[in-house]
Amino acid sequence: MSAMLRTRITVALAASFLFGALAIAQRPERNVSPGRHPNLAAAQRLSQQAFERIVAAQEANEFDMQGHAKKAKELLEQANRELKEAAEAANRNKR
């Protein structure tokens, strides 16, 4: 196998791994109890759906979105953390 072919295969595998890890590893978790906080849990579910749609858009556009899709996913992750903190605050206030 030539060095050029090995390099191409290595780059292709690395790119596949990187994009796969970015698409999967950072999805927002749903961790608000729907029984205690149905509205916050619904917001988390919608956040997860939005994240998945962004991943699909990135794949359809070969990740060429000048970083805007990545930023949107980061903001959804931040929103998810805030929703979790809102539920915890309500729990502390016994609501």
When divided into structural domains, the chain yields a total of 1
Check residues 43 and 6 and name the one with the higher pLDDT: 43
Token digits of residue 21? 């890890």
Is residue 19 pLDDT above 80, yes or no? no
Tens digit of each residue's pLDDT (9 = 90 or more) over 29-75: 668 989 999 999 999 999 999 999 999 999 998 888 899 999 999 99
Give residue 80's domain range: 3-92
Residue 94's pLDDT band, with cuts at 50, 70 and 90, is confident
Burial class (CB in 10 A: 0-12, 13-18, 19+), 32: buried
Enumerate residues 6+ apart whose C-beta is below 8 A from 50. 76
